């Protein structure tokens, strides 16, 4: 439930977290775009998807940011004091679900693409994971916008079914594929699944706050901060790890490419 008013500190907290997410997503995408030639072509699809994910997230956070500023206003001189909901305006939480509907399936596609598995295995993983990810977000939205706790519980439980299935594929079926990865990245890829799990758990926890009778402006601000941190970890940090894996695998696949890249890094270091 969106609060009727926010204190100056609460307003600033949400404002700054939204700003932090925009900067994180935008400049992570910019970095990976510039660094795309620093990996072999076979891994560039994964990084291109990561760029798209961060770009989509940055766009939606611009929209969330604008919605937030329009929804809470103050008449205090200098913009200090209590911020109340503006007449005719409402904070649009739907932007987050549109963002997740697009980016969550793509996050899983990043992981599949960087593994560079046989085409048949990739196709099977895509069929297993992508529809389940979209279904998880679609089922969660009716509960998020409902003020009826029964509706919230029903759709929350329904959305947990594809969530559990995704975890099963990541932690059971995908384990066999990880054994085919170079030893230098196997551990990172294995831990990446736990990063997905931990960052994604923030969303159902925030979803459950009204069911635990945790409400009011403090709870709402905490939810916005939690969503923001989770989105930074699940998209920007995740993308940088995917890039690191792609770069290491590029070195493993082509020693000559690795030698050229190392020489370039040494030259830049000396010039600096």
Whole-model pTM above 0.85? yes
Query: Where in the sequence is the domain holding 77, given as residue range(s)?
Result: 5-271
The yes-or-no verdict on residue 270 having pLDDT over 50 is no
Higher pLDDT, 133 or 145: 133
For the chain, percent of residues with pLDDT exceeding 70: 95
pLDDT for 262: 82
Residue 148: both structure tokens together: 């009826």
CATH number at residue 123: 1.20.1070.10
pLDDT for 231: 95
For residue 28, give the H/E element and its range: helix 8-35
pLDDT for 80: 67
| Range picked from 54-63, 75-84, 208-217 for highest mean pLDDT | 54-63
The yes-or-no verdict on residue 268 having pLDDT over 60 is no
Say whether 191 sits in a helix, a strand or coil.
helix
CB 93 within 8 A of CB 142: no
Alpha carbon distance 76, 179 (integer Å): 61
pLDDT digits (tens, 9 = 90+) for 26-58: 999 999 999 999 999 999 999 999 999 999 999
CB 215 within 8 A of CB 239: no
- pLDDT interval class at 78 (50, 70, 90): low
The yes-or-no verdict on residue 205 having pLDDT over 60 is yes
For the chain, percent of residues with pLDDT exceeding 90: 60
The yes-or-no verdict on residue 174 having pLDDT over 90 is no
Task: Give the count of beta carbons closer than 10 Å to the beta carbon of residue 80.
Answer: 11
- pLDDT interval class at 148 (50, 70, 90): confident
Among 138, 147, 151, 4, residue whose Cα is nearest residue 73: 4
- pLDDT interval class at 211 (50, 70, 90): confident
The yes-or-no verdict on residue 255 having pLDDT over 80 is yes
- pLDDT interval class at 265 (50, 70, 90): low
Mean pLDDT for the stretch of residues 194-200:
90
Alpha carbon distance 172, 133 (integer Å): 17
Residue 98: both structure tokens together: 């549109």
Tell me the residue length of the chain.
272
The yes-or-no verdict on residue 272 having pLDDT over 70 is no
Domain count across the chain: 1
Task: Give the count of beta carbons closer than 10 Å to the beta carbon of residue 43.
Answer: 23
């Amino acid at each position: 439930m969106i609060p009727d008013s926010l204190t100056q500190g609460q307003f600033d907290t949400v404002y700054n977290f939204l700003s932090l997410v925009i900067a994180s997503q935008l400049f992570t995408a910019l970095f990976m775009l510039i660094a795309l030639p620093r990996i072999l072509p076979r891994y560039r699809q994964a990084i291109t998807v990561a760029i798209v994910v961060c770009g989509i997230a940055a766009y939606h956070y611009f929209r969330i940011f604008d919605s937030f500023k329009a929804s809470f206003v103050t008449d205090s001189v200098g913009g200090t004091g209590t911020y109340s909901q503006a007449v005719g305006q409402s904070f649009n939480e739907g932007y987050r679900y549109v963002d997740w509907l697009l980016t969550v399936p793509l996050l899983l596609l990043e992981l599949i693409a960087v593994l560079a598995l046989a085409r048949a295995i990739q196709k099977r993983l895509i069929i297993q994971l992508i529809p389940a990810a979209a279904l998880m977000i679609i089922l969660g939205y009716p509960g998020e916008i409902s003020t009826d706790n029964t509706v919230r519980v029903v759709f929350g439980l329904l959305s947990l079914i594809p969530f559990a299935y995704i975890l099963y594929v990541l932690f059971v079926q995908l384990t066999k594929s990880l054994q085919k990865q170079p030893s230098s990245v196997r551990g990172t890829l294995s831990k990446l699944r736990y990063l997905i799990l931990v960052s994604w758990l923030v969303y159902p926890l925030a979803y459950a706050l009204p069911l635990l009778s945790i409400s009011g402006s403090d709870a709402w601000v905490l939810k916005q901060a939690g969503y923001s941190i989770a989105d930074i970890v699940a998209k920007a940090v995740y993308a940088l790890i995917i890039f690191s894996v792609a770069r290491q695998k590029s070195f493993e696949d082509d020693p000559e490419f690795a030698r050229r890249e190392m020489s370039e890094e040494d030259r830049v270091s000396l010039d600096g």
